[in-house]
């Protein structure tokens, strides 16, 4: 098959591969591989096509075959390393890429692939070095910045990741993946306004990107812009109605807005799309467990667990609801399963200890709590949960002792002190309650729950003025924060407080306490945060770029080397005839060139016809040079140089603009260049000037000069320069020159 055809097929195969038309690319390149058994580049491309189709064994075969042909190909080692990495053969992959770097140490993409191997092996330092080397060698290689940033992100160094992304954005400020990953790191640092800008920038470059829309919605929700957040998730569902992640996140937004029924429906729809989607199942279990689960709620939770048996969080929620419903044996069974899967999780021991306390097994409970402290010495807060159980069991003194012991360990803890004040007030110890609440108020002066408890304590002690003052402080604090529903409660409470100020009687005690409790719930900062964190949204992970095969083969001429050897026999068959023709034609060209003073003289029409292009030229005696019009004074004309029969030929370099002439239909000079330019240069003198030749020729007569390619000289041991092989064609290269377009300035062949 002709080399030009193979080159054209190779180009079409590359184009098809770029368009991901792998079948067409494979079909084309297989023909090239078959016709070029000694070419490496087609095998590199074929292996890359198979790698993209996950046909790794075939890809490995052709990469190795290419390296058998040429052992100095960095492309082959690089792509082979990528295949090894996909298969988990990291040592072989690292060895292949190291060899590729030895052959081509300036290639940033090879350093990048080596960094990916180190990253997967957990060699963070080596991966950072490889990515930095990739950036140093190729400063515009965005993929290296991206994966270096995600490496820092996974290590929890978000600020360093942002710094790397900023370096990438200096090279390409509109790169959507870099903007997206920078937004992920900003979200982790809770810089949600900046993250929002990054996600919007990513969407500007890549409209309709659902992952960017998803994380944009989360950033908006964190900024309490719930309506905008919901619109972002709705946009995802318009683009992809089956996107269960968007359904889960939209449901979580509805929960933040207080729309529990709509949220519950969306969680169920997400689970219909993907029954194994544990995040939606856990969120739904929170809603079910928030109310009294009952048998129907527990039945639904059991179905969720059956569909997601590998979700420890869902099983954990199911066990908690079983414990809440009083089904202690079933709860014990679920917690036991969890402990078998993860015996190092401290929270499982905490809940088992509480469960055994409810079951009346104090020894088992104490054993679990001791194990808990062995796993996590800082988990002393189990005493607060245990105190609540003791209080429900009417073991008030034990509950108070547990709380005091914990406060001794952590004097500034909010929850334990609030619980101590509540239990003290409940059992008539108002002095202890007031003392504790005043201490808490110093640390949390704007906490509504503290003010509400203070008002209750003063009411309990009959301190009317102090109770009213505490209630007024509470109203002033919450009036600016409350929504329309809370404002209605505030108005009702204000009316009650006015009545209480006039007649502080027992008949208002119940309403007083009720409204204080409602106001305290509004003002409790920790209560709001706990409820917000209960429902989980799914943040889409950052993107890592991967798999960078090399298709840049440098000098494309090398991949069809064997085409030069196909015609060796033809060269030898034509050897003697071609050499004879050139020996005879070369002196005639020299005679036509003549001396410089006659360079522009018109040439007379020869009396004999021009030789046929198909017949060998016959030797002709040199014609006598025409006498000059006036002899040059004091100068003898130089005789034409005579070429010795065995003298080595002189070299002639083709002019770079030899193909720039436009073809015409007028009489022309036809030069047939040989396949190897070095052959022509051995037989022509560098004194030959194209313009001199044309002026000496008769422009009224078509003269055809045919130069056939000679056999390779036995003294030539080296191949021609590969950059000149494009001129090596078995077809003739014609030069047609219009006599009317001749330049007056001579152009020399050098």
What value does the mean pLDDT of the chain take? 73
Q: Per the domain annotation, does 212 fall within a domain? A: no
496 in the same domain as 587: no
Label residue 546 by pLDDT band (50, 70, 90): low
> Looking at per-residue confidence, does 732 or 281 come out higher?
281
> Is pLDDT at 332 greater than 70 in this prediction?
yes
> Is pLDDT at 673 greater than 90 in this prediction?
no
DSSP calls for 301-340: HHHHHHH-TT-HHHHHHHHHHHHHTT-HHHHHHHHHHHHH
Q: Per the domain annotation, does 456 fall within a domain? A: yes
Mean pLDDT of the region 69-88: 91
581 in the same domain as 502: no
Mean pLDDT of the region 9-22: 89
Residues of the chain with pLDDT > 90, as a percent, come to 39
> Is pLDDT at 552 greater than 80 in this prediction?
no
Mean pLDDT of the region 98-126: 92
Residues of the chain with pLDDT > 70, as a percent, come to 62
**What does pTM read for this prediction?**
0.59
Q: Per the domain annotation, does 626 fall within a domain? A: no
Task: Check residue 643 and give its pLDDT.
Answer: 45
Domain boundary among 346, 361, 376: 361
Q: 318 is in which domain, residue-wise? A: 276-361
Name the strand (E) or helix (H) holding 705: strand 704-705
> Is pLDDT at 283 greater than 60 in this prediction?
yes
> Looking at per-residue confidence, does 614 or 349 come out higher?
349
> Is pLDDT at 407 greater than 70 in this prediction?
yes
Domain of 293, CATH number, reads 1.25.40.10
675 in the same domain as 528: no
> Is pLDDT at 297 greater than 90 in this prediction?
no
Task: Check residue 355 and give its pLDDT.
Answer: 93
Domains contained in the chain, number? 3
Task: Check residue 657 and give its pLDDT.
Answer: 42
- Please give the Cα distance from 237 to 314 (Å, whole number): 26
Q: Six-digit token pair at 38? A: 């000694």
- Please give the Cα distance from 695 to 689 (Å, whole number): 10
528 in the same domain as 579: no
Mean pLDDT of the region 214-220: 94
> Looking at per-residue confidence, does 531 or 481 come out higher?
481
> Is pLDDT at 531 greater than 50 in this prediction?
no
Q: Six-digit token pair at 536? A: 């989980």
Cβ(616)–Cβ(581) under 8 Å?
Answer: yes
- Please give the Cα distance from 251 to 288 (Å, whole number): 14
DSSP conformational letter for 277 = -
Domain boundary among 305, 327, 361: 361
- Please give the Cα distance from 336 to 313 (Å, whole number): 14
Mean pLDDT of the region 240-248: 92
Most confident region among 301-310, 313-322, 467-476, 594-603 by mean pLDDT:
313-322
Cβ(32)–Cβ(42) under 8 Å?
Answer: yes
Mean pLDDT of the region 21-28: 90
pLDDT in tens, 553-606: 433 433 333 334 344 344 333 333 333 333 333 333 333 333 333 333 333 333
């Amino acid at each position: 098959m002709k080399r030009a055809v193979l080159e054209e097929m190779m180009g079409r195969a590359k184009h098809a591969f770029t368009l991901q038309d792998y079948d067409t690319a494979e079909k084309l390149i297989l023909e090239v591989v078959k016709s070029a058994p000694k070419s490496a580049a087609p095998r590199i491309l074929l292996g890359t096509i198979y790698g993209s189709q996950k046909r790794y064994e075939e890809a490995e075969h052709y990469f190795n075959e290419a390296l058998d042909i040429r052992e100095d190909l960095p492309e082959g080692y690089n792509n082979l390393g990528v295949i090894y990495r996909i298969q988990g053969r990291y040592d072989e992959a690292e060895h292949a890429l190291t060899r590729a770097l030895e052959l081509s140490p300036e290639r940033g993409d090879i350093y990048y692939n080596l960094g990916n191997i180190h990253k997967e092996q957990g060699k963070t330092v080596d991966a950072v070095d490889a990515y930095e080397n990739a950036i140093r060698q190729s400063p515009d290689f965005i993929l290296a910045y991206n994966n270096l940033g995600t490496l820092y992100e996974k290590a929890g160094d978000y600020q360093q990741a942002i710094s790397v992304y900023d370096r990438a954005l200096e090279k390409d400020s509109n790169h959507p993946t870099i903007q997206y990953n920078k937004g992920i790191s900003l979200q982790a640092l809770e810089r949600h306004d900046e993250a929002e800008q990054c996600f919007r920038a990513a969407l500007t470059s890549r409209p309709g990107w659902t992952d960017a829309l998803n994380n944009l919605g989360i950033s908006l929700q964190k900024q309490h812009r719930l309506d905008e957040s919901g619109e972002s998730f709705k946009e995802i569902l318009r683009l992809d109605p089956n996107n269960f992640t968007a359904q889960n996140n939209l449901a979580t937004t509805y929960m933040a807005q207080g729309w529990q029924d709509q949220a519950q429906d969306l969680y169920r729809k997400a689970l219909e799309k993907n029954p194994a989607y544990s995040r939606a199942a856990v969120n739904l279990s929170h809603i079910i467990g928030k109310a009294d689960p009952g048998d129907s709620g527990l039945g639904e939770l059991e179905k969720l667990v059956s569909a997601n048996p590998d979700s420890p969080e869902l099983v954990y929620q199911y066990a908690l609801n079983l414990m809440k419903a009083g089904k202690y044996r079933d709860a014990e069974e679920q917690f036991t399963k969890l402990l078998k899967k993860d015996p190092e999780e401290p929270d499982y021991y905490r809940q088992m200890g509480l469960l055994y306390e409810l079951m009346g097994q104090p020894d088992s409970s104490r054993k679990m709590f001791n194990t808990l402290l062995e796993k996590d010495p800082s988990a002393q807060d189990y005493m607060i949960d245990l105190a609540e159980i003791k209080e429900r069991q009417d073991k008030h003194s034990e509950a108070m002792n547990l709380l005091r012991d914990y406060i001794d360990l952590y004097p500034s803890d909010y929850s334990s002190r609030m619980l101590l004040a509540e239990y003290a007030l409940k059992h008539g110890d108002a002095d202890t309650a007031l003392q504790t609440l005043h201490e808490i108020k110093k640390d949390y002066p704007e906490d509504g729950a503290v003010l509400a408890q203070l008002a209750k304590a003063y009411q309990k002690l009959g301190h009317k003025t102090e109770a009213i003052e505490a209630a007024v402080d509470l109203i002033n604090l919450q009036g600016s924060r409350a929504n329309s529903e809370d404002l209605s409660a505030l108005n009702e409470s204000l009316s009650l407080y006015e009545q209480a100020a006039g007649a502080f009687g027992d008949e208002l005690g119940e309403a007083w306490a009720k409204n204080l409790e409602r106001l305290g719930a509004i003002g409790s900062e920790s209560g709001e945060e706990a409820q917000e964190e209960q429902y989980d949204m799914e943040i889409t992970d950052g993107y890592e770029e991967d798999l960078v095969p090399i298709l840049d083969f440098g000098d494309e001429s090398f991949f069809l080397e064997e085409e030069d050897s196909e015609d060796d026999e033809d060269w030898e068959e034509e050897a003697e005839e071609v050499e004879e023709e050139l020996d005879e034609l070369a002196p005639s060209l020299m005679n036509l060139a003549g001396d410089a003073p006659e360079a522009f003289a018109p040439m007379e029409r020869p009396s004999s016809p021009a030789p046929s292009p198909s017949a060998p030229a016959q030797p002709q005696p040199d014609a006598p040079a025409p006498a000059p019009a006036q002899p040059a004074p004091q100068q003898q004309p130089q005789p034409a140089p005579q070429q010795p029969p065995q003298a080595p030929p002189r070299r002639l370099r083709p002019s770079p603009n030899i193909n720039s002439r436009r073809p015409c239909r007028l009489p022309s000079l036809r030069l047939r260049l040989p396949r190897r330019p070095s052959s022509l240069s051995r037989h022509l003198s560098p004194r030959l000037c194209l313009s001199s030749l044309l002026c000496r020729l008769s422009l009224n007569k078509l003269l055809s000069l045919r130069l056939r390619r000679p056999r390779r000289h036995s003294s030539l041991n080296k191949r021609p320069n590969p950059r000149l092989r494009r001129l090596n064609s078995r077809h003739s290269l014609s030069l047609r020159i219009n006599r009317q377009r001749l330049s007056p300035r001579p152009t020399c062949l050098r």
